[in-house]
Chains A and B, each alone.
Chain A
Amino acid sequence: NAGVTQTPKFQVLKTGQSMTLQCAQDMNHEYMSWYRQDPGMGLRLIHYSVGAGITDQGEVPNGYNVSRSTTEDFPLRLLSAAPSQTSVYFCASSYYTGELFFGEGSRLTVL
């Protein structure tokens, strides 16, 4: 069972480069989200989606774009990476009102 799949698991970028973190789920969940995890900060919500074609901002959306063209996929785009975006990123999905299922995380370093 695949669950929530994130790629890549590790990435090193230079300041100003762009990249996309991929997230796919095979559980037909309506809800998908992206979090970043920084020491002492807990998980902070970047963007989320309650269904295909619908996205909204979370707590820390600046510097990130998302789209949800299908139920399965929810990519996170960094248009111009900054050192402050060095973090571990988690994608999560759920049924409405259900528990979150997390991907394995993507560790991003921006030099």
Chain B
Amino acid sequence: ILNVEQSPQSLHVQEGDSTNFTCSFPSSNFYALHWYRWETAKSPEALFVMTLNGDEKKKGRISATLNTKEGYSYLYIKGSQPEDSATYLCAFLHSTDSWGKFQFGAGTQVVVTP
């Protein structure tokens, strides 16, 4: 059972446009949410580790927000570039689970076209 859902499954963005997508997770017993960027033929790489309701994190043109009370996190890409093309994964950890028992979403595949 996939308790962590990401939407949309995929999206196409024109270079220079901004976009955002969602990770939904159970709103009870929150411990942590991670975002990872996964380029084709490479390994997932961490973007953000988020632990507090209201957290906002930023790395370059990519930012994320966290709402643990309603169970969602948004990832934003501002001014998309072709190098932003990747699958973006979120990973959720329950407070009732031992550290490391992450549940990953299926990912949002982003394709940025010039």
Establish whether residues B2 and A42, one from each chain, have CB atoms under 8 Å apart when the complex forms. yes
Residues A20-66 near B (CB distance < 8 A):
31, 33, 35, 40-45, 48-50, 56, 58-59
Establish whether residues A100 and B46, one from each chain, have CB atoms under 8 Å apart when the complex forms. yes
Establish whether residues B36 and A100, one from each chain, have CB atoms under 8 Å apart when the complex forms. yes
Interface residues on A, range: 20 to 34
Closest B residue to A6 by CB, please name it: B43
Q: Mark B78-109, 1 if CB is under 8 A from A, else 0.
A: 00000000000101000000111111111100
**Complex Cα–Cα for A62 and B88 (A):** 28
Interface residues on B, range: 20 to 34
- Nearest-neighbour CB distance to chain B for A39, whole angstroms, equals 9
With an 8 A cutoff between CB atoms, is A105 at the interface?
yes
Residues of chain B within 8 A of A102, CB atoms compared: 43-45
Establish whether residues B102 and A42, one from each chain, have CB atoms under 8 Å apart when the complex forms. no
Residues of chain A within 8 A of B91, CB atoms compared: 43, 100
Q: Which A-B residue pairs are the 9 nearest by beta carbons?
A: A99-B46, A102-B43, A42-B106, A43-B104, A42-B104, A48-B100, A31-B100, A102-B44, A99-B49
Please report A residues at the B interface, Cβ cutoff 8 Å: 31, 33, 35, 40-45, 48-50, 56, 58-59, 90, 94, 96-105
